[in-house]
């Protein structure tokens, strides 16, 4: 299991959200952010032909993520 797989499985368990509901919520939030060309078929978004996105949608996700103080602190740490 890769680090990404492990991390997402821990997040999923810690949030007490079962897989399908977790994915539905991820896709719902994506649509709320205007990510209309994105579909996530597993928690990590990798290794699945049903998962797809666009650079534009990923930019929308990054813009939203940068509004979170903790996320911003982590990604700007040198």
| SS3 label, residue 39 | strand
Q: In the block, which residue shows the tokens 């205007």?
A: 34
| SS3 label, residue 37 | coil
Predicted pLDDT at 4: 73
How many CB atoms are closer than 10 A to CB 28?
10
Range of the domain at 9: 3-76
d(CA 52, CA 24): 15
> What are the tens digits of pLDDT across the range 13-60?
766 566 678 888 899 999 999 999 999 987 776 778 889 999 999 999
> What are the tens digits of pLDDT across the range 51-73?
999 999 999 999 999 999 999 99
Domain total of the chain: 1
Predicted pLDDT at 49: 87
């Amino acid at each position: 299991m890769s680090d990404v797989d492990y991390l997402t499985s821990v997040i999923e368990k810690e949030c007490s959200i079962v897989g399908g509901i977790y994915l539905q919520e991820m896709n719902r939030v994506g649509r709320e952010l205007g990510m209309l060309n994105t579909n996530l078929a597993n928690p990590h978004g990798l290794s699945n032909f049903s998962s797809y996105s666009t650079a534009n949608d990923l930019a929308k996700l990054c813009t939203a993520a940068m509004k979170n103080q903790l996320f911003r602190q982590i990604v700007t740490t040198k």
